[in-house]
Amino acid sequence: MGGNFFEALTKLKHAWDIWRSIPLLVTSQDYADKARNLVEGSFHEIRGHLRIVDFKEIKGLYETWKKMDETETRIIQQIC
């Protein structure tokens, strides 16, 4: 968690301009509201494409994937 918030949005906008990639901003709930306000103004070109995700969701996803990987490894080791 850190870095320049405006710079992050600028980089996402640049990636959208060049590659039409899906801009994904991982942030906290506090900054999500700030991002939505900036997307309405300075970054309006990516408004319909930007995905704002709370870092807690990403952390939960990572933990789930980690558990799945551990379970899969354990099952495979039992089979072999």
Residues in a beta bridge with 51: 24
From the list 23, 17, 21, the residue with the least C-alpha distance to 47 is 23
Look at residue 65 and tell me whether its pLDDT is greater than 90: yes
- Mean pLDDT within 36-54: 92
Can you tell me the distance from the alpha carbon of 57 to that of 63, in angstroms, rounded to the nearest whole number?
10
CA distances 63 to 12, 26, 47, 70, 71, Å, are: 26, 16, 30, 11, 12
pTM score of the predicted model: 0.77
Tokens encoding 30: 């506090």
What region, left, alpha or beta, does residue 73 occupy, with left being phi > 0 and alpha being psi -120 to 50 degrees?
alpha
What is the rounded average pLDDT of the residues 20-49? 92
User: Average pLDDT of the chain?
Assistant: 92
